Structure 1
Amino acid sequence: MDAPHPVMTLDEAECRELLAQEELGRLVTRVGDVLDIFPVNYVVDGGDILFRTAEGSKLFELTVNDAVLFEVDQHTDTDAWSVVVRGHAHRLDTSAEVAAADELKLTPWIPTLKYNYVRITPTSISGRAFRRGSEPDRYGVLAY
């Protein structure tokens, strides 16, 4: 019996399920030729991703260019996976939006005040799962 392929493509439903199980991801922003990456704790709300942030470079960059990448991954000794969300981010502006976000109990991991909620609305979600193991023989030398 053949072992499963070590790299498997995840469908969107599998990706969304994995996103909902985790709390820490990486936000990638781009302003001009400059890319930045920020770790953020998050929650999934419906099909969107929400995180909180203070005033600063992250929030500023999202107002300059709302196109973002968001990546979450996880691994064990035997398996790993990675999910990438492409989408658009916007700060929640209305009191109704903020009140609804407050109900999600999203709290900062570090003791700082973060008054701004940001919602990422995905345009695409992709992911892969990996079976971990030893590297195959690189040079193809067969024993006699």
Structure 2
Amino acid sequence: MTIGAAELLSRAAIPGRVGEVGVELCWRALEATSMGRLGVATDAGVEIYPINYAVDGTWIYFRTAPGSKLTAVTAHPQVALEIDAFDERAAYSILVKGTAERVEAPSVLDEASALSLTAWIPTLKLRWVRIRAHEVTGRVFRREPEPEPYP
């Protein structure tokens, strides 16, 4: 279940319009959702891929099929994962910067396979990748009417 933006705003207890989200609350938001955007450098530039993922401790796992995403994270393992949410009262953005690695060890594959992670579309995604987070940050925004430009 996703943490709503207003709920995160109240948990973060920010005094103004914009505030930082603590690392523990960032992880709670990551655990509460399963869809994000993965940023990866490629030889042609930066690519952004929508992924569904699962969190296990401080590891973030996703599955993929052979193709451009797997090639990119293998060649350029420094990645970023971003999630966000908004409602009428608030918005938040959580950013994870880390290193992606293919999961190939049988014991780690068994652990990953036990996670609750299902593909969104009916395709075989048999390659597991996990992200070791190096930096987890978040911001929360109180949504209010925009001020008049010329009062």
Residue deviations 1:30-89, cap 9 Å, x none? 024510000000111101111110000000011111000100001111111100000000
Residue deviations 1:2-52, cap 9 Å, x none? x94111111111111111111100000002451000000011110111111
The gaps in structure 2 that reach 5 residues or longer are: 1-13
Q: TM-score, normalised by structure 2?
A: 0.87
> Which SS does the other structure have where 2:30 is aligned?
helix
1:41 maps to amino acid: N
Q: What residue in structure 2 maps to residue 86 of structure 1?
A: 97
Q: What residue in structure 1 maps to residue 54 of structure 2?
A: 43
> Which SS does the other structure have where 1:17 is aligned?
helix
The gaps in structure 1 that reach 5 residues or longer are: none
Of 130, 133, 141, 2:141 maps to: 130
CA–CA separation in structure 1 for the residues paired with 2:145 and 2:76: 42
Q: What residue in structure 2 maps to residue 29 of structure 1?
A: 40
Equivalent residues, number: 138
CA–CA separation in structure 2 for the residues paired with 1:133 and 1:111: 41
Question: Which is greater in Rg?
Answer: 1
Q: What residue in structure 2 maps to residue 8 of structure 1?
A: 19
Q: TM-score, normalised by structure 1?
A: 0.91
Q: What residue in structure 2 maps to residue 114 of structure 1?
A: 125
Q: What residue in structure 2 maps to residue 74 of structure 1?
A: 85
Runs of 4 or more off by more than 2 Å in structure 1?
none
Give % identity: 39
Q: What residue in structure 2 maps to residue 52 of structure 1?
A: 63
1:18 maps to amino acid: A
Q: What residue in structure 2 maps to residue 97 of structure 1?
A: 108
Higher helix share goes to which structure? 2
Residue deviations 1:68-118, cap 9 Å, x none? 010000111111110000000011011111111111121101110000111
